[in-house]
């Protein structure tokens, strides 16, 4: 049987594998990943709770209310549909969402701490406001989902949310961008934890953040330079 949206499914698997390959993930490789079917309010979501052995047919098609349209999903992942859906609803330009328990980022979440913008890669990845913390609520509960919405509404320029006592949720225009946001957040969290030993990470001052974004855009707009 032919599978619908094969390339989208494969893009999710490639991006999930990137997170495993780089080590930006907890030891269990727990995670779930979704991608928006372009120009619709439906998503394809990984139906298993680990990034190991993902296959294109393991993604289920759902709408943003959590209704299963096609495929199958295990009970654990049925719980997390709304956690993904809220990001698509709050940020309509989102094309993909990834949830992991990335070790360093999750350490911030366990310590009930947001992550400031001290690492320049966060600026370049559109996270100048740092990574907010969504207060804890049981997984998939109305409370936990509304806490994610709240965190996103107060923190405009970000591509991720730390889930208190739980993990990290990252998003982007497509699966590669969402996975990259997760990776950069994990790097930033790792370095911030190491920086604690040296007196703590210092956030980039607001006026310099603006200058850094301007400089990035200047070079991006100039395009590739060839000799
Ligand atoms: Zn989780």
Kindly give the distance from the C-alpha atom of residue 158 to the centroid of ligand 1, in angstroms, as a whole number: 20
Q: Which domains does the chain have, with CATH numbers?
A: 6-220 (3.40.225.10)
Strand stretches in the chain, DSSP E: 31-36, 42-46, 59-63, 68-70, 96-100, 133-134, 160-163, 167-172
On the question of pLDDT at 33 being above 80, the answer is: yes
Kindly give the distance from the C-alpha atom of residue 80 to the centroid of ligand 1, in angstroms, as a whole number: 8
Name the nearest CA neighbour of 32 among 156, 154, 139: 139
Kindly give the distance from the C-alpha atom of residue 221 to the centroid of ligand 1, in angstroms, as a whole number: 38
On the question of pLDDT at 3 being above 80, the answer is: no
At 52, give phi and psi (nearest 5°): -80, 135
Kindly give the distance from the C-alpha atom of residue 139 to the centroid of ligand 1, in angstroms, as a whole number: 8
Residues, CB within 5 angstroms of ligand 1 (ion): 167
Which pTM value belongs to this model? 0.93
Contact 71, 61 (CB under 8 A): yes
Q: In the chain, pLDDT over 70 holds for what percent of residues? A: 98
What is the band of 224 on the pLDDT scale with cuts at 50, 70, 90? confident
Tell me: the pLDDT tens digits for 178-208? 999 999 999 999 999 999 999 999 999 988 8
Tell me: the pLDDT tens digits for 137-185? 988 789 999 999 999 999 999 999 999 999 999 999 999 999 999 999 9
- pLDDT score of 131: 98
- pLDDT score of 117: 96
d(CA 31, CA 77): 10
Kindly give the distance from the C-alpha atom of residue 76 to the centroid of ligand 1, in angstroms, as a whole number: 10
Kindly give the distance from the C-alpha atom of residue 15 to the centroid of ligand 1, in angstroms, as a whole number: 17
- pLDDT score of 147: 97
Kindly give the distance from the C-alpha atom of residue 137 to the centroid of ligand 1, in angstroms, as a whole number: 12
Kindly give the distance from the C-alpha atom of residue 56 to the centroid of ligand 1, in angstroms, as a whole number: 21
On the question of pLDDT at 77 being above 90, the answer is: no
Using a 10 angstrom Cβ sphere, with 0-12 exposed, 13-18 middle and 19 or more buried, the burial of residue 140 is: middle
Kindly give the distance from the C-alpha atom of residue 183 to the centroid of ligand 1, in angstroms, as a whole number: 16
Six token digits for residue 4: 């619908």
């Amino acid at each position: 049987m032919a599978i619908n949206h094969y390339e989208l499914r494969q893009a999710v698997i490639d991006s999930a594998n990137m997170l495993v390959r780089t080590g930006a993930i907890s030891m269990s490789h727990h995670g779930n990943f979704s991608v928006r079917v372009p120009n619709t309010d439906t998503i394809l979501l990984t139906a298993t709770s680990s990034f190991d052995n993902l296959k294109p047919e393991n993604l289920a098609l759902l709408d943003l209310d959590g209704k299963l349209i096609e495929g199958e999903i295990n009970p654990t992942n049925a719980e997390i549909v709304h956690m993904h859906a809220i990001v698509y609803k709050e940020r309509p330009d989102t094309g993909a969402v990834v949830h992991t328990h990335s070790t360093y980022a999750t350490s911030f979440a366990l310590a009930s701490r947001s992550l400031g913008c001290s690492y320049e890669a966060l600026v370049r990845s559109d996270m100048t406001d740092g990574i907010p913390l969504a207060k804890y609520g049981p997984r998939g509960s109305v409370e936990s989902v509304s806490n994610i919405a709240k965190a996103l509404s107060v923190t405009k320029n970000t591509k991720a949310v730390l889930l208190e006592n739980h993990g990290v949720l990252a998003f982007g225009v497509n699966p590669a961008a969402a996975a990259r946001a997760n990776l950069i957040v994990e790097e930033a969290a790792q370095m911030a934890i190491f920086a604690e030993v040296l007196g703590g990470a210092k956030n980039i001052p607001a006026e310099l953040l603006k200058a850094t974004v301007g400089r990035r855009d200047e070079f991006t707009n100039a395009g590739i330079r060839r000799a």
